[in-house]
Each structure stands twice: as C-alpha cells, then as structure tokens.
A = this chain, B = another copy of it.
Amino acid sequence: MLDDDLSAFLDGCPVGVLATQSPDGSPRQSLVYFARHGEQLLISTLAGRLKARDVERTARASLCVMGHEPPYPSVTLSGPAEILTDGIGPATAAVAQRITGASEPPEPMSDEVLAEAGRVILAITVERVSAASYIPQASEGGG
C-alpha cells in the first residue's frame, strides 16, 4: 500500500491525527506521535485511554498525516487496528525516538515495565490510502 514517496513522507512526519469511532458512532480525534514499521503505523498510548478502548471495540482506526508548510501535503491511512501488549518494547522505543528526534531509539523497555506504566501499542495495518495531496516525490527529499 505504501510506495517509496508515501513511506518517505510518513517517515519525515512524526505526528498525525488519529481517528477512532466512539461508542455513539461519531469520530474521536487526537494528535499522536507515530512510527511506521513496514505497512504498520504504531502509536504508543495508555490502555485506559478512550482511543484504545475504541480500537478494542471496533478493531479499526485512521491516521491523517500532514506536512507543516503550505501547500500542506497530507494523506489519510486507515485499516484494521489492534491494541498490543506483548513484545512492544521496540515499537514503544521507536515512537519515543520520534518524540525526541534522537538519532537512535532508546533502549527498549520490557513488557513488564510497560504494563506497569499502563502503556500499550495501538497498531494500524494500512489497508487504504485516501485523500493524498501534494505528497512530495521521495527523490526531492523532504521531512
């Protein structure tokens, strides 16, 4: 689903707007940091957050990622989603690296430590790419 241009664009943008479906059917949106792993989008959140409960209930989510200067390139990625608690140290570290902008991810924490902190990974498998506009060509650079 993600060609070189889209992959490079996503890797250059650390934040996106997550949308999940709330129990009354209406969309619930919030800004999140994410990391791409192949065709998966990984978001670190807390198990008790409404966005995590929405995903547990509906098993779907959508992420809209935008650039930060006119013409504001953007794309929406959506697909099946799940809440992960096993082996999430590396994914959590990858998201932390996006937050800090460090050149390397921090040392991954154990699942036990993350569970104690209530942290989970919300993982979206990209099934659909929509509303793509002004995505730069990867060869042009970007970020």
Contacts and interface: CB of A to CB of B under 8 A. Distances in A.
A20 interface: yes
Interface of A: 15, 17, 19-21, 25-31, 58, 60, 62-64, 66, 68-70, 72, 74, 76, 78, 101, 130-131, 133
Contact of A19 (B19, B31, B58, B72): B19
Given A15-B66, A72-B15, A27 B30 contact: no
Contacts of A64: 17, 29-31
Nearest to A66: B31
Shortest 6 CB-CB contacts between residues of A and residues of B = A68-B68, A27-B27, A19-B27, A31-B74, A30-B131, A17-B17
